[in-house]
Amino acid sequence: MPAAVAVLDEPLDLGKDRIRWTRTRYHQLIDMDIVTERTELLDGDIIPKMPQNPPHRITLYFVSAWLETVFGRAFVQQQQSVELSDEDSEINEPEPDISVLAKPIPSYQSGNPPPDEIVLAVEISDTTIHKDVGKKARLYSRAGFPEYWIADVNKRQIIVHREPTDNGYTSIVSYSGEEEIVLLAKPEAKIAVSALFPADDAQD
């Protein structure tokens, strides 16, 4: 269960005085080729994205493929930035592994999809579970994303977050094994959790 995942406190030593970046500055760093690796901006910190190992990549593929059959390919985007609430936008620019949009991708020509047009956000999580359970859940909830999944590759479970509030999601339920998972936006679509992860013997 997600409650068992401890989000570590910030260290008391040097880290507390570290520089924080605004989104404007962050974009300048990228535009000027100072930050060249793939990153996200979370609460003013520049967070490099972890390289994807095979279980991560395969899970991303399975979850995306299923969401595309349910919503249509044009409504599902991978690793693109999304807008958050106004108060969080200044120092945050996350890129969910998958976001399901209310309108087809070509509709968003002038910017990122606004928060009220994100139907579902998904993070595929292995080494990044603390970030996904803690900081990102808070940001996505404050942005009002109605549903947020964490696909925990190590435990082969989906942690479903619903009922967003300004203080976080109030409904957090984990599903595993042959349990069926249902989409809030498409209640008729169902899939067994095990079908979203690579075969068991493929894992170490």
Partner 1 sequence: MPALLERESSAVERSIARKLWTIDEYERLSDLGFLEGSYELIEGEIIEKMGQNRTHINLIMFLTQWLLDVFGRDHVQAQGPVVITRETGKESKPEPDLAALNAPLSHYTKRNPSAADVALLIEVSDTTRESDLGTKADMYARAGFADYWVIDVQAEQIVVHRDPTAKGYGIVTHYAANHDVSPLAKPDAKIAVAALFPADDPE
Site residues for partner 1 per CB under 8 A: 7-15, 17-19, 25, 28-29, 32, 34-35, 37, 39, 42, 45-48, 50-51, 127-128, 130-131, 134-135
119 contacts 71 by C-beta, under 8 angstroms: yes
185 contacts 146 by C-beta, under 8 angstroms: yes
99 contacts 113 by C-beta, under 8 angstroms: yes
Toward partner 1, which CB reaches closer, 33 or 188? 33
> Least CB distance from residue 19 to partner 1, whole Å?
4
> Least CB distance from residue 80 to partner 1, whole Å?
20
* Cα 85 from chain centroid (whole Å): 15
Toward partner 1, which CB reaches closer, 15 or 111? 15
Q: Tokens for 204?
A: 């170490």
> Least CB distance from residue 122 to partner 1, whole Å?
19
> Least CB distance from residue 72 to partner 1, whole Å?
34
Intra-chain end-to-end CA distance of the chain, in Å: 22
Toward partner 1, which CB reaches closer, 45 or 117? 45
> Least CB distance from residue 11 to partner 1, whole Å?
5
Toward partner 1, which CB reaches closer, 47 or 105? 47
Toward partner 1, which CB reaches closer, 22 or 112? 22
How far is Cα 154 from Cα 139, in angstroms, rounded to an integer? 23
Phi-psi region of 62 (alpha: psi -120 to 50; beta: other; left: phi over 0): alpha
What is the residue type of 93? E
**Residue of 162, 148, 91 lying closest to 118 (CA atoms):** 148
